């Protein structure tokens, strides 16, 4: 038998019981952790691509030097590997943090709408009399 997880949105609301799987689905994302993970992934990707272009110097490859238009101080060089990692991390962190924020906001808004519809469907003052 699965244990029930109680989630409460405010002190006056009834205590809805959710299964642990459902509670995990509606749990908020940790914005800083998601930002760090995406930042590290993007920073490492830019560094690896830059290192590949510095070492191998492929003839028919895309021009990675175009990143210098977006990342201040970036170039296809050994110094560019470090600068590319830093800019990639900053860009990835901001993207991951915003995605986590937007997801948390949308789930919270959706749950508010669902809860409001459920509360409006309940009888109101019908049993008085």
Q: What is the 3-state secondary structure (H, E, C) of 53-90?
A: HHHCCCCCCCCHHHHHHCCCCCCCCHHHHHHHHHHHHH
What does the pLDDT read at residue 12? 47
Q: Please, what is the Cα angle at 100 between 6 and 9, to 5 degrees?
A: 25
What does the pLDDT read at residue 59? 87
- CA-based end-to-end distance of the chain: 42
What does the pLDDT read at residue 25? 80
Q: What is the pLDDT of residues 31-87, one digit of tens each?
A: 999 999 999 999 999 999 999 999 998 888 888 999 999 999 999 999 999 999 999
What does the pLDDT read at residue 23? 75
The SS3 of residue 15 is coil
Across the chain, what does the average pLDDT equal?
85
Q: Please, what is the Cα angle at 87 between 84 and 93, to 5 degrees?
A: 130
Return the number of other C-beta atoms located less than 10 Å from residue 66's C-beta: 10
pLDDT (mean) for 6-21 = 55
What does the pLDDT read at residue 18? 65
The SS3 of residue 27 is coil
């Amino acid at each position: 038998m699965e244990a029930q997880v109680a989630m409460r949105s405010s002190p006056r609301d009834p205590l809805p019981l959710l299964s642990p799987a459902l509670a995990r689905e509606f749990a908020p994302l940790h914005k800083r952790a998601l930002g760090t993970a995406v930042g590290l992934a993007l920073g490492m990707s830019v560094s690896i691509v830059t290192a590949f272009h510095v070492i191998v110097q492929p003839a028919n490859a895309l021009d990675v030097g175009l990143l210098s238009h977006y990342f201040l101080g970036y170039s296809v060089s050994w110094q560019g590997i470090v600068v590319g990692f830093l800019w990639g991390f900053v860009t990835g962190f901001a993207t991951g943090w915003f995605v986590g924020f937007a997801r948390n906001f949308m789930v919270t808004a959706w749950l508010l709408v669902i809860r409001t519809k459920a509360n409006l469907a309940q009888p109101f003052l019908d049993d008085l009399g």
